[in-house]
Amino acid sequence: MKFAVIVFPGSNCDVDMYHAIKDELGEQVEYVWHDTESLDEFDGILLPGGFSYGDYLRTGAIARFSKVMQAVVKAAEAGKPILGVCNGFQILLEAGLLPGAMRRNESLSFICKPVELKVENNQTIFSTAYSLGETISIPVAHGEGNYYCDEETLAALKENNQIVFTYQDNPNGSLEDIAGIINEKGNVLGMMPHPERAVDELLGGADGLKLFQSIVRSWREANVVKA
């Protein structure tokens, strides 16, 4: 499986994402600059964290108009797995690939620490390696991770089982403790915690590795013909 790590001006977690795929997962991966117009050669698309375009206007608001985002939308429509982490999640929201919006943390301060998440849906292409209800430890690092949506959108998220991860001890005030959601089609996941920073026990834990393993396993089951 071949992954693209999208790099925007201001991305700072792209190297972590690359390391997770190449060194821990053992899959192909390339950095892809924000002005790239095609992602056809890639099987999975990763939008890493950071401060794209300095977070001017709103987090992700400018990155949403980068040339590469047209290709990301095309990949999403084609059913390819798209993962947006932290700033990547914010960009997916701004691009309309996921519903809702991000607000400042309730504390109005930057948060950087490991948090415990509950796996609310383990039947997605991103979460099959987890057990339903499993508690995992993944670090967060954000100032605007307070997820919000209107009542109608929240009802739809619940009805369609689109809430994949929730916080056990909500660090930022997110509505309904939401930490990660998928689109209705099930191939686009946005989450504020950083799974790429939890792929090796030397980093403090490896709970995030299962997310990437889930993607690869699901892709192979769908695309690799067995003899």
11-40: pLDDT as tens digits: 999 999 999 999 999 999 999 999 999 999
The single-letter DSSP state of residue 65 is G
Catalytic residue list contains 142: no
Q: What distance in Å separates the CA atoms of residue 86 and residue 192, rounded to the nearest whole number?
A: 4
Class of domain 2-223: alpha beta
Task: State the catalytic residue, choosing from 27, 120, 144, 196.
Answer: 196
Catalytic residue list contains 19: no
Tell me the whole-structure pTM to 2 decimals: 0.96
pLDDT at position 224 is 80
Over residues 154-174, the pLDDT tens digits come to 999 999 999 999 999 999 999
Average pLDDT over residues 105-119: 97
Helix, strand, coil percent content, the chain, rounded in steps of 5: 30, 25, 40
Across the chain, what does the average pLDDT equal?
96
For residue 92, which of 136, 37, 33, 52 has the smallest C-alpha distance?
52
Task: State the catalytic residue, choosing from 19, 27, 86, 120.
Answer: 86
Catalytic residue list contains 196: yes
Under 8 Å between Cβ of 179 and 118: no
Inter-CA distances, 212 with 1, 58, 70, 106, Å: 11, 28, 24, 30
- Which band of pLDDT confidence, cut at 50, 70 and 90, is reported for residue 57? confident
Under 8 Å between Cβ of 167 and 116: yes
Which tokens belong to 35?
């002005």
pLDDT at position 225 is 65
Q: What distance in Å separates the CA atoms of residue 149 and residue 135, rounded to the nearest whole number?
A: 25
Percentage of the chain lying above the pLDDT 70 cut: 99
Under 8 Å between Cβ of 72 and 47: yes
DSSP H helical segments within 112-208, as ranges?
151-159
Over residues 71-83, the pLDDT tens digits come to 999 999 999 999 9
Q: What distance in Å separates the CA atoms of residue 202 and residue 224, rounded to the nearest whole number?
A: 32
Task: State the catalytic residue, choosing from 13, 27, 149, 194.
Answer: 194
- Which band of pLDDT confidence, cut at 50, 70 and 90, is reported for residue 203? confident
